[in-house]
Structure 1
Amino acid sequence: MSIPVVTVGQSREDLVGGLERLHGPVTVVRRCSELTELLAACQSGLARAAVVAEGSDELTASLVDRLTAVGVVVIALTDSTEETVRLTAIGVTAAPAGVDSAALAGRISGAVARWASPAPFQVRDSGFADTGAAIRTVPEEIDAVPGEPSGSGQVITVWGPAGSPGRTLVAVNVAGELAAAGNSVLLIDADSYGASVAGMLGLLDESAGLAQACRLADLGQLDAGALLKIATPVVLKSGMLRILTGITRADRWTELRATALGVVFERAREVADFVVVDTSFCLEADEELSFDTMAPRRNAATLRSLELADTVYAVGSADSIGVPRLVRGLAELEAAVPQASPKVVLNKVRAAAAGRFPERQLREAWERYGPSEGITAFLPADGAASDAALLAGSLLLEAAPDSGLRQAIADLVCAPAQQKRRSSVFSSTAKRHLKG
């Protein structure tokens, strides 16, 4: 069976004529004058392979991922070693510009066969973050970063429903507790509606580190070294963490494409023991745009962060408004990302809002609502400690180390921190649990 192919540009010889003279392996169904015409032809279902003889520098990971989603593999012709490495990283099959027709036909057939029989590795994907399949990049050789892990980092995503349940407060201080326990930590602000990690830590940042990383990932140029250069280091009294700051305006959400984010998370796992992600509340999947597979997804950053997470903390306010919102949000989360298995965290626990013996009252209310997930942790309201940390642009473990809120967050993360510790620096809570 002949493979239908579309082409763009010309090689040193007559590319189309050479492929057609083979009479069998492939059939050129359209010769395109530019890449946009080639994309339109592929989107219409006309071809199974696209050969880019000129203009390979315009190919990005997001574009290749969209073509892969409609069953089209991409083969690009180039004589540049650097370009070959870049193309391979974004999922393109590269071939020399002067390749003969028979060899090119063989590469096309091989690429189509590999697409039909994907590698065992599959990115966990609900399908809502992006219409395309998450790109599978080819492992590349990178210089090892002394003292850093390689590819085994755990992704912790902090999510919560609409309102102000304290997602960023929890994410920032979870990252701080893990870093203080001697782990290498990368904190990512993936809130595409109101990024606030930089502000909470007193960073005057206008560079939008996550957007920079996504841009490099889309071009196939993001490696571990580049990610470390982009991330902002924050030195703590005990330990250090790195931060990929969020977008500076909500209208920049189009820069956070799902495919690029997937690559960023892959690289983040290589440079950190723990990757802590602060996300937005919204889980809508833009179904009204599903006909347009080239359109970016408004909530791709949140959905992809949840899809790729090893642990999800679902944070809700412990009051008569926050608890029902969290219950409804958990149902939406299960529908959008079935594999999430969130750990429920009730924040701002106080007797004034939940009644006498608030934890017992909240457990009883939770049982009445009937969600399948149990409550993992209660975080007490501590406005004075939170205000002190915000005013100082620091973490609770530095501004209010003895506060009940800080101790509760340390309790929440102390078990994984102990398992991955790299130094003797522990909070008093972690030490207490070790003895127990």
Structure 2
Amino acid sequence: MSIPVVTVGQSRDDLVGGLERLHGPVTVVRRCAELPELLAACQSGLARAAVIAEGSEGLTASLVDRLGAVGVAIIALTDNEDEAARLRKIGVASALTAVDSAELSACIADAVDQLTGAGAHGPGRSSLADTGAALKVTPAEPPSPETPGAGRIIAVWGPAGAPGRTTIAANIAGEMAADGKKVLLVDADSYGASIAAVLGLMDESAGLAQACRQADQGTLDAAALARIATPVATTSGTFRVLTGITRPDRWTELRAPALALVLERARQYADVVVVDTGFCLEADEELSFDTMAPRRNAATLRPLELADTVFAVGAADPVGVPRLVRGLAELEAAVPQASPTVVMNKVRASSVGRSPERQLRDAWERFGPAFELKKFLPYDPGAADTALLAGSLLLEAAPDSALRRAVRDLVCAPDQQKSKSSVFSSTARRRAKD
């Protein structure tokens, strides 16, 4: 079956003409003058492959993702090794400009096979495509010793309201840095980014947006990520922060393909990547947008999809608990693989009743979702306010507070924990001694 192809740029007539004369493996259905015209042709369902003869520097990860979403593979022609390396980072195959028509046809067939999942030796390959072994082609995703990164991604999510996502995410980063780990904290909340305010940082420059722009261009590596991220020094350790967008209307800068590349580089750079996400999990924005438009909630959904650990945080009060229950159902539907660790924050007797942990566990077992309620964090407004006023973390502003001990217990190894899992256990022990 012939593969319909569109081309862009002033490619050599003999190359395009040669593709047209092959009569079978590929068929050139349109020659475009520039990338926007090519994009429109591909989105109309006209082609399954695009050959970029000129203007490959205009290709970005977001554009590649948009074309891939409509089933179009991309092959760029370039003799520049640096450009070929950049293209490889954003998932584009490349060939030399001197490639002949038969070899280019083989490259096109191979790229389409990879996009559709058939692979290099999968079913459906044409016999002509098998002759492409001699072609000097840069594969879209070549094996690399540094991919994937060894870093662990921790996503902190919670439903609408103020369950304490940002406070917990920032203090998790601080505690893990205090244990000697290399930590990167990422503010991916596209509705109300506030990591910079919590840490007392200047938020005039959105670090995550800068990283996404470089990732979109294929120029982001671990060194560039380290330059963009802001260092935060504490008395116990130092970590780096990618601050969030400075205004909610800048959410379009956090596109899913670029954000995924940022998190991939973050894995390579840091031992632990802590992501403060937004609350909204809706994925049906195509009801109000064109299907190829960026998705605002992708900045929340993509980290949750990629995370090794997800902390689902809810407020322990009559409003926060039902919100968390409903939110967990939405999370399971949106990201089935998440398996969150459920954390109840702001636990206090005044909002739940006597023995609040027991009350919450009993209610959760009767009415809660299938996810187990695993951790409790105490309501400690004095410690939280002190840290917020100082623009610092609990380990500096209130190192002996119950909240700080509970957060440390949440993420640190058992031999490093300073308290037991119950946030009221120390009080209970003191009472027992009395």
Structures share fold, TM-score greater than 0.5: yes
1:247 to 2:255 alignment: no
The 10-residue stretch of structure 1 (38-47 or 246-255) with the greater mean CA deviation from structure 2: 38-47
Q: State the distance in 1 between where 2:302 and 2:218 align.
A: 19
Aligned to 1:42: 42
What is the DSSP-based 3-state SS (H/G/I as helix, E as strand, rest coil) of the residue aligned with 1:98? coil
Q: Which runs of 5+ in 2 are unaligned?
A: 121-139, 421-434
Q: State the distance in 2 between where 1:366 and 1:354 align.
A: 12
Q: State the distance in 1 between where 2:43 and 2:189 align.
A: 31
Aligned to 1:401: 399
Q: How far is the alpha carbon of 1:291 from its aligned partner?
A: 7.7
Aligned to 1:183: 181
Aligned to 1:99: 99
1:143-176 Cα distance to aligned partner (Å, 9 max, x none): xxxxxx9811111100001110100011011111
Aligned to 1:131: none
Aligned to 2:70: 70
Aligned to 1:433: none
Q: State the distance in 2 between where 1:229 and 1:119 align.
A: 37
Q: Which runs of 5+ in 1 are unaligned?
A: 121-135, 143-148, 419-425, 431-436
Q: State the distance in 2 between where 1:382 and 1:286 align.
A: 38
Structure 1 residues 163-312: aligned runs within 5 Å: 163-289=161-287, 292-312=290-310
Q: Is the 8 A contact 1:12 1:98 kept in 2?
A: no
Q: How far is the alpha carbon of 1:265 from its aligned partner?
A: 0.9
Q: State the distance in 2 between where 1:225 and 1:399 align.
A: 32
Q: Which amino acid in the other structure matches residue 48 of structure 1? A: R
Q: Which amino acid in the other structure matches residue 6 of structure 2? A: V
- CA-based RMSD of the aligned residues comes to 2.1
Q: State the distance in 2 between where 1:214 and 1:54 align.
A: 25
Q: How far is the alpha carbon of 1:401 from its aligned partner?
A: 0.6
What is the DSSP-based 3-state SS (H/G/I as helix, E as strand, rest coil) of the residue aligned with 2:413? helix
Gap change, CA 1:347 and 1:291, over 3 Å in 2: closer
Q: Is the 8 A contact 1:210 1:247 kept in 2?
A: yes
Q: State the distance in 2 between where 1:344 and 1:427 align.
A: 19
Q: Is the 8 A contact 1:150 1:271 kept in 2?
A: no
Q: How far is the alpha carbon of 1:65 from its aligned partner?
A: 1.1
Q: How far is the alpha carbon of 1:102 from its aligned partner?
A: 2.0
Q: How far is the alpha carbon of 1:40 from its aligned partner?
A: 1.6
Q: State the distance in 2 between where 1:117 and 1:140 align.
A: 20
Q: Which amino acid in the other structure matches residue 42 of structure 2? A: C
Q: How far is the alpha carbon of 1:81 from its aligned partner?
A: 1.5
What is the DSSP-based 3-state SS (H/G/I as helix, E as strand, rest coil) of the residue aligned with 1:50? strand
Q: Which amino acid in the other structure matches residue 317 of structure 1? A: A
Q: Is the 8 A contact 2:187 2:208 kept in 1?
A: yes
Q: State the distance in 2 between where 1:150 and 1:113 align.
A: 23
Q: State the distance in 1 between where 2:316 and 2:223 align.
A: 42
Gap change, CA 1:23 and 1:152, over 3 Å in 2: same
Q: Which amino acid in the other structure matches residue 50 of structure 2? A: A
Q: How far is the alpha carbon of 1:137 from its aligned partner?
A: 4.3
Q: How far is the alpha carbon of 1:376 from its aligned partner?
A: 1.2
What is the DSSP-based 3-state SS (H/G/I as helix, E as strand, rest coil) of the residue aligned with 1:241? strand
The 10-residue stretch of structure 1 (111-120 or 35-44) with the greater mean CA deviation from structure 2: 111-120
Q: Is the 8 A contact 1:67 1:73 kept in 2?
A: yes
Q: Which amino acid in the other structure matches residue 334 of structure 2? A: A
Q: Is the 8 A contact 2:408 2:418 kept in 1?
A: no
Q: Is the 8 A contact 1:77 1:95 kept in 2?
A: yes
What is the DSSP-based 3-state SS (H/G/I as helix, E as strand, rest coil) of the residue aligned with 1:237? coil
Q: State the distance in 2 between where 1:15 and 1:346 align.
A: 63
Q: How far is the alpha carbon of 1:114 from its aligned partner?
A: 2.2
Q: How far is the alpha carbon of 1:304 from its aligned partner?
A: 0.6
Q: Is the 8 A contact 1:9 1:55 kept in 2?
A: yes
What is the DSSP-based 3-state SS (H/G/I as helix, E as strand, rest coil) of the residue aligned with 1:172? helix
Q: How far is the alpha carbon of 1:370 from its aligned partner?
A: 3.0
Q: Is the 8 A contact 1:7 1:31 kept in 2?
A: yes
What is the DSSP-based 3-state SS (H/G/I as helix, E as strand, rest coil) of the residue aligned with 1:405? helix
1:66-125 Cα distance to aligned partner (Å, 9 max, x none): 1112211101112222111111111111112232222211211221222233679xxxxx
Gap change, CA 1:296 and 1:160, over 3 Å in 2: same
1:22 to 2:10 alignment: no
Structure 1 residues 307-386: aligned runs within 5 Å: 307-386=305-384
User: TM-score, normalised on structure 2?
Assistant: 0.88
* Percent sequence identity over aligned pairs: 71
Aligned to 1:133: none
Q: How far is the alpha carbon of 1:15 from its aligned partner?
A: 3.2
Q: Is the 8 A contact 2:285 2:295 kept in 1?
A: no
Q: Which amino acid in the other structure matches residue 163 of structure 2? A: P
Larger radius of gyration between Structure 1 and Structure 2: 2
Q: How far is the alpha carbon of 1:24 from its aligned partner?
A: 2.9
Q: State the distance in 2 between where 1:359 and 1:113 align.
A: 55
Q: State the distance in 1 between where 2:342 and 2:250 align.
A: 30
